[in-house]
Amino acid sequence: MDIKKRIVVLTGAGVSAESGIRTFRDSGGLWEDHDVMDVATPEAWERNMELVLRFYNQRRKQLYEVSPNAAHYALVELEKKYDVRIITQNVDDLHERAGSTHVMHLHGELKKVRSSVDESLVYTLDGWELKVGDTCEKGYQLRPHIVWFGEPVDMIPAAAQLTETADILVVIGTSLNVYPAAGLINYVLPGTPIYLIDPGHFDMGHITTLRFIKAKATEGVGTLLKELLD
């Protein structure tokens, strides 16, 4: 039997940048013209539900206007030879739309909504607009299915366990600034090769198994595929 090596891929906003979705830290401290504290916290939701809904409605609407890019497709290509498991911090669905079969969302999903009282009631939204007055089956207001700042990241234990099983770790387009997601790279077993694709600056010389491909995602994956598929 042919047992495939496992590649765990950690992606961030940078992998979707060339699809036209802006990253967070490249936007001058503002996220699509908003302070994240005004739109992506439980306090913001308490203070101004309409603004939060409008913000995520815009993000969701945009999602219907963009498409996966070469980087998303390259990760699908890797599945021919490897058991590829993607852990993404992104709330878009571009990995799934490209065709990746194993995608774990750490920070939630834009196209899903959930009850603001009973977290177990999660729904896929029909269309892009969630309004004040849209309720779950128990009658409570629905909210975006997004992990906001200050909320626990429930998927972290599962993601950490998965990262431990990696034969190779690939990290694409994340500033590794936001914890606990950024801490995942510490879960690889000693000696595991780590590929990092990002046009930004990283000070990770202490990781001896690191291969830093300093490039945009769509370009960097070309190098990655050459090294891992040839």
User: Would you say 165 or 179 has its CB closer to ligand OAD?
Assistant: 179
Contact between 178 and ligand OAD per CB under 6 A: yes
User: Would you say 147 or 185 has its CB closer to ligand OAD?
Assistant: 147
Give least dist CB 16 to ligand OAD, A. Answer: 9
Distances (CA, A) of 125 to 57, 61, 81, 120, 145: 11, 12, 35, 15, 10
Residues 6+ apart with CB under 8 A from 17: 23, 26, 173, 216, 217
Give least dist CB 118 to ligand OAD, A. Answer: 21
Q: Which one of 72, 107, 145, 206 is the catalytic residue?
A: 107
Classify strands 108-115 and 122-124 as parallel, antiparallel or unpaired: antiparallel
DSSP for 205-218 reads TT-TTEEEE-S-HH
Contact between 184 and ligand OAD per CB under 6 A: no
Contact between 57 and ligand OAD per CB under 6 A: no
Contact between 114 and ligand OAD per CB under 6 A: no
Tokens coding 94:
């571009």
Q: State the number of CA atoms in the 13 A half-sphere of 226 facing the CB.
A: 6
Residue 76's closest CA among 91, 98, 49? 98
Contact between 217 and ligand OAD per CB under 6 A: yes
The answer to whether 107 is a known catalytic residue is yes
Contact between 17 and ligand OAD per CB under 6 A: yes
Residues that bind ligand OAD (CB under 6 A): 12-14, 17-18, 23-26, 40, 89, 107, 147, 173-175, 177-178, 198-200, 216-217
Report the catalytic residues.
Answer: 107
